[in-house]
Structure 1
């Protein structure tokens, strides 16, 4: 294989639109591009995704070495779900509230079957970060929780489920993005803990996943000075992290995938082109450049130039190519079969499991006043707070009407008030049953104040947190508090059933809420 085609196999590229663009086709034809990533921008319907996957695979197998593509997406569940037509599973933290490894394995297999039926063969999941920082803006409910053992057990089970149905699992974000208060999409976070603490907390889920045979791991653009000696060196570009720690100490010989090099932690530093070279020097196999054709070309050409100059040896490229080909042969075979009718069967199974997970994991944290269940024969007033995505990792999908709609479906007569921005709250019906639907209110001062005002003035108020459970910390001790950990269809339906008394909430809070 010519060196340009070898290097092309080491790149994962994204593109805009629901059909192959001229740019992505050029990357496949010119460089033998080996890997594609889908975002919500690429997805409109199951038939369209299946067709898109088939067209891209046809192009890839017609050129170069005829290797099939890894077609990847982030279908974690909950707030990070690129396939958004009602089949997505609840968040990993909701699964964490169930604390059931059998269910986590079923979740992986169920998601995997749906992805595979649409030609998607690499899921950038599970999230193996231990979320022990309530101020984390990018992980939060994407994590199974704050207990390393729980994260390790559930994450390993989910990965096994994915791989049991022929989909490559990619655990992320090594060595751990859980204890950061900065989003690496926007800046370079630093985790300043000493090595012994990292070994005990952050590394533990990744170690368990490696021992269980996970196919791939994604790096994180976070600095770990206890490992690298630097507060300015992202783990993605550190051989001390990727080779000495991950490859040698932890024994990982699978595919090492970078997080996107267009994230500001890299793009505003050395840039994607130089970052690609340094990531390969550090030990990474697949370099992700998710958005911009010019940056994708520049990164590929930078690696080619590094090989021609001797900075990178062709032998080094071959080692990564070997890992990628080995994984593709294990999971993909010679060609991909895309079957939309099979997706319909998978969709039914996904919805059923989503309901089961949500009914199990929905968590009634506090109800000392015995406010719940509400009486369906009486009016219910819903105060919903508008919300925007917590991180660029998520898609802008939250609808503040979603809880009211679900409550009507279980028999409530509902009136709704939506609070946007700094709108003042004025509610006269103090004796009316009332629920406040909070969406990460703790992170916004005006929303926190509004929620506290409601809590202080309405005796029959319940608070439903549809994103971060940490909103509990801003509620008075007397307020009933229920959390779904996300606003996926299954989670919201479980909330409505719980409020109506049709479901007994049994989930346990997988994180500690600060006082």
Structure 2
């Protein structure tokens, strides 16, 4: 886009270009069309609620791009989603890759780069040109309710290397990568969707642990970085100020000290850490004042309109200058020119060409990263000619950021595929499990037992009672901490198809996994 195009745009269209909005349903809503037509809305975010099939997503992307380029300056959209892999996978038709902690267990930069390129090709084929990944948070807090397995692990250097490689893979196929959540959401015990976390560490510790992955990604040429709604008093001097709306964090630290000149995108301003504090509309103005370029309001049309109007009012009253709006607009358009081009989405046959590659890579990552932490009693492999009892726990998503798709039957299906005849025992936790014979083969499938006392109690009793038992943690490797007496412990870090298929093969003895824990299990 030429400079004079920006200069000639009406103020409302300039401001609209700075916003990223979500909507409900698998087709554009009247509200989303209104935002595009009235404000020249510049960016759209997809969630699982918008996605039903590859053909539907392709058509949706094309329709939205057509709508956007027909109004105002005719500018294309950034269409974004969170396709991190594992528990945060908005596309759910069997091609999703395992999550980042499983890739961290592989500890292979080339694999991470290949994962980025593979995900990027699929997204690009569907008309999605911005992936809100990788997660660059260093997860060194086992009680973290929102990051956890979304992180590559607890080593800042390895998180930085793997995250940079994944970002470069995405961008190699012209999908912008967005590292998150700056300056770091890994050492929190509060979910910013629900409240304002505080990271109270002093600056030297932040420089040693939280900052390095972002520094590595910046040096590696990442297009975008997402802010976090977490307070960092060592930087701001304020325990109640979210980093997203702090000039000291976004301009002083990220822009000036770390030298980042790419896109700075907010996490959703409808999250309670912002919405229940300064409010979504005021938060939008504050975020732009702090140095952010793209303002995310993911859910509610009324809040989206209010936020856009609040920024317009701030410019008209002199609180924000139009030059400040132009600066972010130029940055957004620079990356749109580079990544979006003239494409309004691919064709479904193009997506089909991605499927085999995605599934093959998912298997490669899983066979590399699924981790047999120990098998001290040499319980494995189980005998496929004997019945296998599967004790599973029901589970729901750990955070609003995740996709709530876990079903114990997914594990049972994977075990049947490798030849086991199984008997399932699915419980919530806390109930007694009656398996008649003490010498039966048993796999106890834990799902975040670390944060579920009833599940943890049942898991511990099973470990004590049965000898031929393996614990399979399909959501949280930290579950080992609640059953340290487990002689055989296997973790997949997530329940993606490739991860569960590899776990089943490991239990049957047809695959030898090589993954190593990228986090420390508390005593």
Ranges in structure 2 where 5+ consecutive residues have no aligned partner: 1-8
Q: Tell me the residue number matched to 2:128.
A: 120
Residue 509 of structure 2 aligns with which residue? 501
2:281 matched to 1:273? yes
Alignment match, 2:138: 130
- What is the correspondence of 1:472-487 to structure 2 with a 5 Å cutoff? 472-487=480-495
Q: Secondary structure at the match of 1:217?
A: strand
Secondary structure of the structure 2 residue equivalent to 1:418: strand
Q: Retained in 2: the 8 A contact 1:435–1:462?
A: yes
Counterpart secondary structure, 2:27: coil
Matching of residue 398 in structure 1 with residue 406 in structure 2: yes
- Could you tell me which of 301, 312, 327 is aligned with 2:309? 301
- 1:308 and 1:422 map into 2 onto residues whose CA distance is 60
Query: Is contact 1:112–1:161 with CA below 8 Å preserved after alignment?
Result: yes
Which residue of structure 1 aligns with residue 352 of structure 2? Answer: 344
Provide, for residues 87-118 of structure 1, a one-character-per-residue CA deviation record: whole Å limited to 9, x for no partner: 00001000000000000000000000000000
1:320 aligns with 2:328: yes
1:411 Cα shift? 0.6
Deviation at 1:429, TM superposition (A): 2.5
- Contact between 1:369 and 1:478, CA under 8 Å: does it hold in 2? no
SS in structure 1 of the partner of residue 444 of structure 2 = strand
1:39 aligns with 2:65: no
In the alignment, what sits opposite 2:378? Answer: 370
User: How is 1:187-226 mapped onto 2 (pairs within 5 angstroms)?
Assistant: 187-226=195-234
In 1, the alpha carbon distance for the partners of 2:419 and 2:343 equals 49
Distance, in Å, in 1 between the alignment partners of 2:486 and 2:85 is 32
The answer for the alignment partner of 1:253 in structure 2 is: 261
State the secondary structure of the residue aligned to 1:125: coil
1:111 correspondence with 2:108: no
Deviations 1:7-49 (A, max 9, x none): 0000000000000000000000000000000000000000000
> After alignment, is 330-339 or 411-420 more displaced?
330-339
Tell me the distance in 2 between the aligned counterparts of 1:65 and 1:483: 51
Q: 1:243 aligns with which of 251, 257, 273?
A: 251
Conservation of the 8 A alpha-carbon contact between 2:61 and 2:127: yes
**Do 2:470 and 2:486's aligned partners in 1 also have CA atoms closer than 8 Å?**
no
Partner in structure 2 of residue 262 of structure 1: 270
Instruction: Give the C-alpha shift of residue 421 in structure 1.
Output: 5.0
Structure 1 unaligned blocks of 5 or more = none
Structure 2 distance, partners of 1:400, 1:76, is 22
Shift of 1:477: 3.0
Q: Find the counterpart in structure 2 of residue 148 from structure 1.
A: 156
Q: Is the partner of 2:225 in helix, strand or coil?
A: strand
Q: Distance in 2 between matches of 1:23 and 1:282?
A: 28
Rounded to whole Å, the distance in 1 between the matches of 2:484 and 2:274 is 41
Is residue 60–residue 68 contact of structure 1 (8 Å, CA) maintained in 2? Answer: yes
Q: Once the 2 structures are TM-superposed, how far is the Cα of residue 437 of structure 1 from its aligned partner? A: 0.2
2:37 is aligned with 1:29:
yes
Q: How does 1:310-459 map to 2 (within 5 A)?
A: 310-459=318-467
Query: In structure 1, what is the equivalent of residue 18 of structure 2?
Result: 10
CA distance in 2, matches of 1:488, 1:478: 24
Q: Which whole-Å CA distance do the structure 1 matches of 2:486 and 2:40 have between them? A: 61
In 2, distance between residues paired with 1:91 and 1:336?
28
Q: Deviation per CA, 1:197-242: give whole Å up to 9, x if none.
A: 1011100000000011100000000000000001100000000000
C-alpha RMSD over aligned residues: 0.7
Give the one of 210, 227, 251 matched to 2:235.
227
Paired with 1:280 and 1:38, the residues of 2 have a C-alpha distance of 23
Match of 1:88 in 2: 96
Residue of 154, 170, 173 corresponding to 1:162 = 170
**TM-score by structure 2 length?**
0.98
- Give the drift of 1:180: 0.2
CA contact (8 A) 1:216 1:257 kept: yes
| Segments of 4+ moved more than 4 angstroms | none
8 Å CA contact 1:224–1:231 kept in 2: the answer is yes
- 1:364 is paired with a residue whose SS is strand
* Paired residues of 1:67 and 1:334 also in contact (CA < 8 A): no
Query: Is contact 1:195-1:226 (8 Å) kept?
Result: yes
